[in-house]
Amino acid sequence: MEVWWNELKDIITHIDWDAFHFLRPKALYLFAPLLLIILLLLIGNKEHKKWKTLIAKPLRPYMFNRGSHWAIVIPMLLFIIGMSAMIIGLAGPAWKKKVIPGQKIQAVVLVALDLSRSMMAKDVQPNRIERAKFKIGDFLDANPRVRAGLLAYAGTAHPVLPFTGDYKIIKFHMQSLSNRIMPVQGTNTPVLLEQIDTMMKHVTAPSTVLLVTDAIDNDQAAQLSNWINKYIHHLEILLVSTPNGAAIPGYPKVISKQDPAVIQNLAQDTAKIHINYLTLDNSDVKAIAGRISKKLYFQSVKNKDSKEWDDMGWLLIPPSLLIAAFWFRRGWAIQWCVLLFMLFGLSSCGLKSKHPDWWYSKDYQGQLLSNNKQYDDAADRFEDDKYKAIAYYKAGNYSAAADLFSLDSTASGNYNRGLALTKLGRFDEAEDAFGKAISLDTSLKIKIDKSLAATRSIKHRADSIARYGVKSIDSKTHDKLIATKKNHKNDPLKEHKPVSDDEQLSSDTRVKNLPTFGNRTSDEVATKIRTAKESQSPQKGGPGDKSGQLASNILLRRAAADPAEFLHKRFLLQERLYYKHIKKSATPW
């Protein structure tokens, strides 16, 4: 108690009156209704003596009991003091800034893997790329305890995975990395550094870039040194090569090896670069992981220009509550004044007020908005993930709804996720979600069977469109097309009855009368029926105008089953979009 009193006395006696101000000065306008209430109290308590003259003067001392003057003054005085303290506290007196502690932020590590042709040399078995992938796997197994990202580079640089704490998915994608997936050969260090900047631009903690390569020349060393000195991050370089080097596949006269003088100068140039040599065991990557995990968290620097002030209005709460406690005593009951004051002070306490959180919880606000069919606003207001997901589903944001439903592992959560995935056209995943829901709660089987039937029907329709590409047409249009086709005598695709000469046709028979229309080269005819094709490479330019097509004809093409092929196509697309004017290296290894 004594400590608390000393702190309170220190706060009050050290008020900086030069910096004193109110955070909510408009609250001081509440003194106007308070003044009105005081006037009403004074008028109401004024003694009226005219009617007393009707009583005989000798009887007046026996008829009237003269009350104490202080019985009126003290309650009114305390009421004024208490209400004034409340108003001043609501206005938010402040004279010192808040002490905002620095926030702890976690570092990350970005692994940049060299996939140039020189990394295919076999001085390290089975080759440098494969050994580098083994080393990265050992590095992740050493648990650096940070989120890791993966980047591949050669003549161009491409992000493989953003920063994630799931090391298993990094290992999975890493197995698909090879030289053949890179669209441009060579080693382009400036492009690599630009891509690193892009991936690290939102990282505020001093972090680490792990560069896994085989050799660094003088120009590359200068570029790396100049780049790392501009940032708060550190650079770890793991050299996957032997001192003697090896010939580059396809260039037998070119020997790829590291110049020791370059590495020595690079290591001495700055303390932010650490060179690591390849070892037969995992001690090299364990050392890197250890250095990273030692500097896992960093204290962010607080903003010195912060305008956050410490609201000291709480100091007036205890005296206000103490005075309010006397209002329940006999002769002090002026609660109606407080009600009148609140009518002036609290103009709105509904959902549309400036501070709805004062009156309703977030979930209750979301429910009110959902009842009014304002589902987008309701989703933003809900705090409960289940209600938020339902609001997203009703708003038509099925992707967000599916992600939130996936957090609910119950039967209803899986069932709702299946419904959202069906809306997204992800039918296989929807069936899996429905199956999990049935396994968790067999009472949902009837409802889920109906949903599964609807899902398989939609999937069958989509697969049919994908196979034949036929547009949906009404019966009148269909009959008109059939009639037109029958009247076309020279239609080369017109069905005809078989004759005896047809039996003599073979693969060697030469056809004299070829069709006069129809694109026979691509097996596409001049009709509205198109055959589906697999895209072998990214198409140049943007997609054509398909506004006139039906939604059912816009189909998703399946990605290649091979992850390496998928990455190769993605890198090709990125190369065409972002590296149009890149200069190819004079040394394509």
Flag whether 535 is in a domain.
no
51 and 166 co-located in one domain? no
Flag whether 477 is in a domain.
no
∠ Cα 189 195 197 (to 5°): 105
pTM score? 0.46
Question: What residues make up the domain containing 53?
Answer: 2-98+311-345
Which pLDDT score is estimated for 465?
Answer: 57
Q: Could you tell me the CATH number of the domain that includes residue 278? A: 3.40.50.410
Flag whether 229 is in a domain.
yes
Domain's final residue, options 319, 345, 371: 345
Mean pLDDT of 489-511: 42
Distance CA 239, CA 274 (A): 11
More confident residue, 118 or 332: 118
Distances (CA, A) of 505 to 142, 270, 497, 498: 70, 80, 15, 12
Contact criterion met (CB below 8 Å) for 106 and 297 = yes
More confident residue, 551 or 275: 275
Least confident of 199-208, 214-223, 558-567: 558-567
Looking at residue 527, what DSSP letter applies? Answer: S
Tell me: pLDDT of 495 over 60: no
Looking at residue 447, what DSSP letter applies? Answer: H
Beta strands 246-248; 251-256: pairing state: antiparallel
Flag whether 579 is in a domain.
no
For residue 122, the one-letter residue type is K
pLDDT digits (tens, 9 = 90+) for 359-385: 678 888 888 888 888 888 888 888 888
More confident residue, 280 or 325: 280
- Residue 492 — very low, low, confident or very high, per pLDDT cuts 50/70/90? very low
Scan for tokens 């949903």, then name that residue.
451
Say whether 244 sits in a helix, a strand or coil.
Answer: coil
Mean pLDDT of 189-216: 91
Tell me: pLDDT of 516 over 70: no
291 and 266 co-located in one domain? yes
Distance CA 268, CA 30 (A): 69
More confident residue, 135 or 459: 135
How many structural domains compose the chain?
3
Flag whether 186 is in a domain.
yes
Number of residues written out for the chain: 589
321 and 443 co-located in one domain? no
More confident residue, 183 or 537: 183
Mean pLDDT of 572-579: 86
Distance CA 224, CA 237 (A): 10
15 and 111 co-located in one domain? no
pLDDT digits (tens, 9 = 90+) for 121-172: 999 989 999 999 999 999 999 999 889 999 999 999 999 999 988 899 899 8
38 and 134 co-located in one domain? no
277 and 417 co-located in one domain? no
SS (H, E, C) 167-188: HHHHHHHHCCCCHHHCCCCCCC
Q: Phi and psi dihedrals of 247, rounded to 5?
A: -75, 145
Tell me: pLDDT of 358 over 50: yes
Say whether 76 sits in a helix, a strand or coil.
Answer: helix
Flag whether 441 is in a domain.
yes
143 and 83 co-located in one domain? no
316 and 413 co-located in one domain? no
Flag whether 206 is in a domain.
yes
More confident residue, 92 or 562: 92
- Residue 253 — very low, low, confident or very high, per pLDDT cuts 50/70/90? confident
Share of the chain above pLDDT 90, in %: 18
Tell me: pLDDT of 100 over 70: no
- Residue 542 — very low, low, confident or very high, per pLDDT cuts 50/70/90? very low
384 and 404 co-located in one domain? yes
Scan for tokens 């800034």, then name that residue.
97
Tell me: pLDDT of 489 over 70: no
Flag whether 538 is in a domain.
no
10 and 88 co-located in one domain? yes
Nearest to 194 by CA among 239, 229, 158, 220: 158
Looking at residue 71, what DSSP letter applies? Answer: H
Which pLDDT score is estimated for 121?
Answer: 92
Count of Cβ atoms closer than 10 Å to residue 32 Cβ: 9
Q: Could you tell me the CATH number of the domain that includes residue 367? A: 1.25.40.10
341 and 419 co-located in one domain? no
Q: Around 378, how many Cα atoms within 13 Å sit in the side-chain half-sphere?
A: 23
Please name the residues in contact with 302: beta carbons below 8 A apart, sequence gap of 6 or more.
100, 101, 102
Contact criterion met (CB below 8 Å) for 415 and 430 = no
- Residue 512 — very low, low, confident or very high, per pLDDT cuts 50/70/90? very low
250 and 124 co-located in one domain? yes
